[in-house]
């Protein structure tokens, strides 16, 4: 039980990668807080984990709203009394759309959830992690955060920023025993992939969320204590190295 006696907040924890992370963390002994905008899916995920013998609660929050994040932190402390781990999985995307066709509302929506949400959640939990002189923060970026592509400007801009933000935060909090890292998945079998699948321009070799969760467990456990300020690429069979032109 690599995460026994730890309390973990998982944003976007009711679906996709976040769901996989929440289940994996609970299986490793952590008490998990499932955070999402949909009350039913949060409660369903928490019930699924509880039925398996784990400890989980669902909290409804929009991570792009500071008041919601503040409430999430307060509720977590009231219910579980501490915060050891934060995994930011919440994210949104658009179908293929040229920059000139992206509305300001769409841009602000993606920035708000994907980037501002991570900022607010980190800002909310770091003071409590400092007090206990321990914490692990894992922010999910993307292979899309490492390079540009047509039709993906808002999403990829946020994912690139997440990497830099994570490095900045890691440098600020290391002295307090807090590690901050980011994970860059390639194609993962999620609702988001299914919703935008027709626009994915990389090989169709999706990985299950459980593979992302395994990396998150490693970083959150004592095994990953020597790693901070780092980005781990988890590309699987979608690694661009495998699709370079052959001479």
pLDDT tens digit sequence for 163-191: 999 999 999 999 999 999 999 998 766 55
Report strand pairing: 135-140 vs 7-11.
Answer: unpaired
Q: Which residues contact 2 (CB under 8 A, 6 or more apart)?
A: 28, 29, 217, 220, 221, 222, 223
* Residue 239 pLDDT class (50, 70, 90 cuts): confident
DSSP 3-24: TTT-EEEEETTTSHHHHHHHHH
* 243 catalytic residue (yes or no): no
* Rounded Cα distance, 82 and 30, in Å: 12
Q: Which residues contact 40 (CB under 8 A, 6 or more apart)?
A: none
Report strand pairing: 31-36 vs 55-60.
Answer: parallel
Report strand pairing: 178-185 vs 135-140.
Answer: parallel
Secondary structure of residue 99 in the 3-state scheme: helix
* Residue 198 pLDDT class (50, 70, 90 cuts): very low
Point out which residues pair with 230 in neighbouring strands: 181
As to burial, measured by CB atoms within 10 angstroms (0-12 exposed, 13-18 middle, 19+ buried), residue 37 is middle
Supply the pTM of this predicted model: 0.92
Secondary structure of residue 194 in the 3-state scheme: helix
Secondary structure of residue 215 in the 3-state scheme: helix
Structural domains of the chain, with CATH:
7-234 (3.40.50.720)
* Dihedral sign, Cα of residue 103, residue 108, residue 109, residue 110: positive
* Dihedral sign, Cα of residue 144, residue 147, residue 152, residue 156: positive
pLDDT in tens, 38-88: 999 999 999 999 999 999 999 999 999 999 999 999 999 999 999 999 999
Q: Catalytic: which of 25, 119, 140, 155?
A: 155
* Rounded Cα distance, 10 and 222, in Å: 19
């Amino acid at each position: 039980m690599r995460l026994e006696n730890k309390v973990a907040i998982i944003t976007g924890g009711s679906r996709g990668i976040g769901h996989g992370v929440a289940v994996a963390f609970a299986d490793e002994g952590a008490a998990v807080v499932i955070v999402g905008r949909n009350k039913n899916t949060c409660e369903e995920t928490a019930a699924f984990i509880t039925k398996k013998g784990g400890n989980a609660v669902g909290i409804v929050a929009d991570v792009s709203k500071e008041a919601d994040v503040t409430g999430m932190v307060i509720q977590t402390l009231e219910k579980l009394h501490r915060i050891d781990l934060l995994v930011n999985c919440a994210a949104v995307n658009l179908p293929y759309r040229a920059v000139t066709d992206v509305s300001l509302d769409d841009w602000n929506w993606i920035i708000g959830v994907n980037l501002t949400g991570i900022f607010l959640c980190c800002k909310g939990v770091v003071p409590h992690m400092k007090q206990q002189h321990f914490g692990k923060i894992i922010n999910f970026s993307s292979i899309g955060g490492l390079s540009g592509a047509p039709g993906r400007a808002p999403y990829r801009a946020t994912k690139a920023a997440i990497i830099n933000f994570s490095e900045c935060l890691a440098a600020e909090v290391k002295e307090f025993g807090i590690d901050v890292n980011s994970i860059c998945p390639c194609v993962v079998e999620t609702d988001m992939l299914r919703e935008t699948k027709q626009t994915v321009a990389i090989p169709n070799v999706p990985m299950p969320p459980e593979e992302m969760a395994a990396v998150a467990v490693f970083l959150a456990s004592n095994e990953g204590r020597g790693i901070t300020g780092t980005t781990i690429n988890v590309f699987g069979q979608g690694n661009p190295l495998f699709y370079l032109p052959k001479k």
